[in-house]
Chain A
Amino acid sequence: MTQVLRAENPVSPLVPVVGKIIKIVAEKIDVKTFHVSTPEGEKPFTPAPGQLGMLSILNVGEGMFSITTQGPNHLEFSIKKTGVLTDALHEAEVGQTVAVRGPYGNGFPLDFCKGKDILFIGGGIGLAPVRSLINYAVENRGAFGNLQVIYGSRSPADLVFKEDILENWPKVPGMKVDLTVDRGDDEWKGNVGFVPAFIEQLAPSPDGDKVCVLCGPPIMIKFCLQSLAKLGFKDENIITTLEMRMKCGVGKCGRCNIGSCFVCLDGPVFTLAQLQKMPPEY
């Protein structure tokens, strides 16, 4: 797949196209979801689930984000306020001009996942990249087996994508959503406890070549992997998505390598079996 990108090509590897924020959803105190279209109201490009996009405010800077989902005419980025660019994004209003380039990376292995039961595990904002595949599976419901989402956050106020996790997904036939929080509050009726312990409590079966797709903070992933191993999930069937600092998105600027892989090009999606063959430098 050699993609020769000319200067007149609207989406070149390093030069973005102009876009516009058409909607902003406040997910929680420091996370907002930005819906981005071209100024003409079209989708800037069509990513596969799990792929990345470089989003910028022209006079501030650019950063690589997972594309958490897409509509017919827009891309969605769920972004935590954590630095100069993300501060500026959080202050932006609907109508703000942005620039966007991509899509980058491999995305989730759709062919491998199709026809199988999928267990999705997310922690905190780690649900953002996983959501792209969840929504794909929901939209292509017939192509997948049973779907289960186990999602946890620090507190009920820290849960993101509330409309999806509380209303949309539980209504999908053959789909189950299990939520947990580290600390509850007076109104919280659901489970209280860390995600790895909740996984062991729910004990999802790995039978039928079930695939597990997980993303979350590194410490959560570490303990989730132990829980999944106990339940008998195979390393080849455990899929995660990594983040690294990125600049180019096409495996040339150097910085996002893990061994001889570039996360922006060969990732960000890797199976546990693949990660075990790579240096633990991420």
Chain B
Amino acid sequence: MKTVVKSKISALLDEIAKEFNLLVPTAGDGASKFAPYTSGGQVSLDGRTLLPPKDVFFPQTEKMYKFSTDGMAGSLETLLEAPKHQMLFGVRPCDVKSIHELDHVFLTKGFVDEFYQSKRDRTFLVSIGCNGPAEPTCFCQSMGVNPQESDAVDVHLFDLGSEYGAVAKSENGEAFLQKYASFFNEAEVQLPAISEFALKPDVEGITEKLQQMFDHPLWEEVSRKCLGCGACTYLCPTCHCFDISGRVAGNQGFKFRCWDSCMFSEYTRMAGGHNPRPSKKERVRNRFLHKLQYFPERYGDLLCTGCGRCLSKCPVNMDITNIIKQIREVELA
């Protein structure tokens, strides 16, 4: 396997940054996230970022078109920029999985979302494996993710302690490793053992069980403490719901889309006042059923990667692993 010593990574990143718009995990101001690489700047390649990388493809707000009006007249113009080739470096396997799920949403079922696709197509992915839980709230292994290795990327890096072992996962990845061959050595490597995860929710058969639990009193119970703040949905790497809104100044304006949250009552409230999910019981139920039943029914995968962000930051300790446990404990009549 090709290996690169960790002390050479910043020199490698300097080289990469000459070719790509390079995005790396950074400590940020209290919220670690993927941000443009600056030479000599801070890169935190240990652990996962607090903010997921979804905004690289699906920005928190994104202008779609601009318009101008003049009395009863008006015109509009699409704002779809082709971004430069970019590299997302240091994505953890849980977040690689989330990108796969976002691809399902934005690129399949009859319509391709160009705003997403234009960024996705131009992004080179480099993942870094974990040899165990990066955070105490991690449970990716239980959600079917191999914490040590991702395949749906261009290059994967195994964490071998003082060095990374690099494997190309695509043709572009092969070319990349050749181009930067001077940074790498060829070595026999032994992958470290994966250390034990504290959280191990069992999701075997959960979709089928939930199909019989829509009216179960569990939802009343688990939703009671939810504040409806939506933090879980903003931190979730797979939550993709969006709103479309606009700004107008004088006779000019633009329409944008922005992240929305199923935890908010306005999300489903119609103009006439009717709301099919009027209270937090329905909203919390919909969120968990979407992750564990509806998405698997529609796309074949759970919409949770076990990254643990929602449970680490929920102000009232809502814990999806605990809810999975409660679902398992329900005895159906």
Contact residue among B244, B267, B268, B298 (Cβ-Cβ distance under 8 Å from A260): B298
Task: Write out, one digit per residue, whether chain A residues 10-44 have a CB within 8 A of any chain B CB (1) or not (0).
Answer: 00111110100000000000000000000000000
Are B73 and A97 in contact, CB atoms less than 8 angstroms apart?
A: yes
* Contacting pair B253 A58 (CB below 8 A): yes
Contact among A83, A97, A254, A257 for B260, CB-based, below 8 A: A254
Given contacts A82-B272, A259-B294, contact A254 B74 (CB under 8 A): no
- Using Cβ atoms and an 8 Å threshold, which residues of chain B touch A203? none
Chain A residues within an 8 Å CB radius of B286: 257, 281
With the chains together, A245 CA to B276 CA distance in Å? 9
The residue from B73, B240, B246, B294 contacting A252, defined by CB atoms under 8 A apart: B240
A248 to B243, CA, bound (A): 8
Question: Which residues between 222 and 252 of chain A lie within 8 Å of chain B, taking CB atoms?
Answer: 243-245, 247-248, 250-252
**Which one, A1-9, A146-154, A176-184, is touching chain B?**
A1-9
CB distance from A54 to the nearest CB of B (A): 9
> Contacts A58-B69, A82-B271 given: A97-B111 contact, CB under 8 Å?
no
Q: Which of B114, B214, B243, B248 has the most chain A CB atoms closer than 10 A to its own CB?
A: B114
Are A255 and B262 interface neighbours, CB within 8 A?
A: yes
Q: Decide if B182 is an interface residue (CB 8 Å cutoff).
A: no
> Which residues of chain B from 216 to 271 have any CB-CB distance to chain A below 8 Å in the complex?
240-246, 248, 251, 253, 257, 260, 262, 267-271
CA separation between A97 and B253, bound complex, in Å? 15
- Would you give the shortest CB distance from A270 to chain B, in whole angstroms? 14
A279 touches B114 (CB 8 A): no
User: B109 contacts A251, CB within 8 Å?
Assistant: yes
Interface assignment of A95: CB less than 8 Å from any CB of chain B: yes
Tell me which residues across on chain A come within 8 A of B246, comparing CB atoms: 58-59, 61
Size bracket, chain B contacts: 35 or more
Is B205's beta carbon under 8 Å from chain A? no
Given A252-B113, A254-B260, check contact A247 B67 (CB 8 Å): no
Complex: A260 Cα to B240 Cα, angstroms: 15
Q: Using a CB-CB cutoff of 8 Å, which residues 60-93 of chain B contact chain A?
A: 64-65, 67, 69, 72-76, 78, 80
Count of A interface residues, CB-CB < 8 Å: 49
B205 CB to nearest chain A CB (Å): 17
In the assembly, what is the distance between CA of A63 and CA of B269, in Å? 13
Partner of A265, one of B109, B253, B260: B109
A2-B112, A15-B65, A281-B282 known; A254 vs B242 contact (CB < 8 Å): yes
Point out the residues of chain A lying under 8 angstroms from B253, CB to CB: 58-59
Judged by a CB distance under 8 angstroms, whether A62 is at the interface is: yes
Main secondary structure of the interface of B (DSSP, over half): mixed
Chain A residues with Cβ under 8 A from B297's Cβ?
Answer: 259-260
Name the one of B105, B269, B298 contacting A245, with C-beta atoms under 8 angstroms.
B269
Q: Which residues of A contact B290 (CB under 8 A)?
A: 254, 257
**Interface: A200 (CB within 8 A):** no
In the bound complex, how far is the Cα of B269 from the Cα of A83, in angstroms? 12
Interface residues of A in 47-83 (CB under 8 A from B): 58-59, 61-63, 80, 82-83
* A14–B80 alpha-carbon span in the complex (Å): 12
For the complex, give the distance between the alpha carbons of A273 and B246 in Å: 39
- Let me know if A96 is at the binding interface, CB within 8 A: yes
Contacting A at CB under 8 A, from B94-142, are 105-106, 108-115
Q: Would you call B288 an interface residue if the criterion is a C-beta within 8 Å of the partner chain's C-beta atoms?
A: no
Q: Is the CB of A15 within 8 A of B241?
A: no
CB-based nearest A residue for B290: A257
Give the residues in chain A near B75, CB-CB below 8 Å. Answer: 18, 97
Question: Of B78, B214, B260, B270, which contacts A253 at CB under 8 A?
Answer: B260
* Complex contact B268–A245 (CB within 8 A): yes
Bound complex: CA A255 to CA B245 (Å): 15
Known contacts A82-B271, A247-B242, A255-B268; A12/B76 CB under 8 A = no
List of B residues within 8 angstroms of A188 by Cβ: none
Given contacts A18-B74, A253-B243, A260-B295, contact A59 B105 (CB under 8 A): no
Determine if A164 is an interface residue (Cβ-Cβ < 8 Å).
Answer: no
Tell yes or no: B293 within 8 A of A by CB.
Answer: yes
B78 CB to nearest chain A CB (Å):
5
Q: Flag if B260 contacts A59 (CB, 8 Å).
A: no
Kindly list the 3 A-B residue pairs having the minimum CB-CB distance in the complex, ordered from nearest. A254-B241, A83-B271, A97-B74
Provide 12 A-B residue pairs closer than 8 Å at the C-beta atoms, listed in order of the A residue: A2-B110, A12-B78, A15-B64, A18-B74, A58-B246, A59-B248, A82-B272, A99-B67, A248-B242, A250-B113, A258-B276, A282-B276
Q: Which residues of A contact B (CB under 8 A)?
A: 1-7, 12-16, 18, 58-59, 61-63, 80, 82-83, 85-86, 92-93, 95-97, 99, 243-245, 247-248, 250-260, 265, 279, 281-282
